[in-house]
Chain A
Amino acid sequence: MTVSLQAEPIDVVAEYAALVGEAPGAAVATFTGYVRNHSGENPVGALELEHYPEMALRVLEELGQQAAERFGLLRWRIVHRFGVLPVSETIVWVGAMADHRGEAISACECMMDMLKTDAPFWKREQGPSGARWVASCENDGQRRARWERGERA
């Protein structure tokens, strides 16, 4: 499975080992996102992630496949959690294997920039003064647009 949606914490060690397997390609890059303990000046206790399961699976599979074609990946994987996630726990993991470091690293960055705006998840921060929906970030849109324009980071 190259895409998994799950409520359970991501076992990043196992995911890395599975991606590398018996015969790794020359370059392996990964990214792990964790729940931040603050949002601007406000402390965060936990993150609630709502999602649209059927669409999330489809979108993540498509963007992973597009990254694989664009960067010539040998292997790739995306794991995204949903549900109530306490601070310092994993939210998302992406991994890419390629012949060269540029492709592996860029593929991870591209997959992350794309899923931030295209994957149907919505975050709600739980803090001392209650819960509030996280607004989408203009920077995320700009980062995504660069990939459309063919620019690299």
Chain B
Amino acid sequence: MIETPGLFPYLTARENLEYYRIQRGNKDKGCVERALQFVGLEGTGRKKFKGFSLGMKQRLGLALAIMDNPEILILDEPINGLDPMGIKDFRSIILKMNREKKTTVLISSHILGELSQIATTYSFINSGRLVQHISAKDLKEKCRSFLCIVSDSADRTSEILKNNFQFKNIEVADEHTVHVNEKVDDPAPAVKALVENGVMVSQVYQSGINLEQYFVNLVEGKENG
């Protein structure tokens, strides 16, 4: 599916798909109805394509792409121009396709935030060159969130956290800053323990990078690790 779908405005959803079913020599007449049901357009009736919203048009384009039950589906900028509800619907259809039909979906998109919600593997391309190919798990690790504690003594802070909470994943960033990669959601007990042990805590905050920042760092030659 290439960007916005090109379909005949004077035909209905069914007629558009039927045209391509005939053209592709697909003898299974039920594939049209199944494709429409899968994307939630079975109730469009006699409504012509020109009367569809952008979200409906994108879904019909997707129905056309999946009509022949492909093993691999390539989508080029499929969610450009969609509103949040349209993006949510489109995302759920893609996930459903992968789950139920075991279809491998290759999505080309600049909307990195959306990709982060569905992709299992990422390929970063810059100026036509593949810069990195990485799994979602590894990428998450590289973009991980951590608790940043700024105090008067990073070494003392690190020692107290290790002794009192058995934290194993602690980085001393500099003489005043410690990064803790465990129990990020619950910093209060750690802060209390530090204060009770005489550590002057000046800042405590969550930190990390999102997919967009990761990509920017990557193409600018830096990588967060």
Partners in one complex: no
Give A contacts to B, CB under 8 Å.
Answer: none
B interface residue numbers (CB < 8 A to A): none
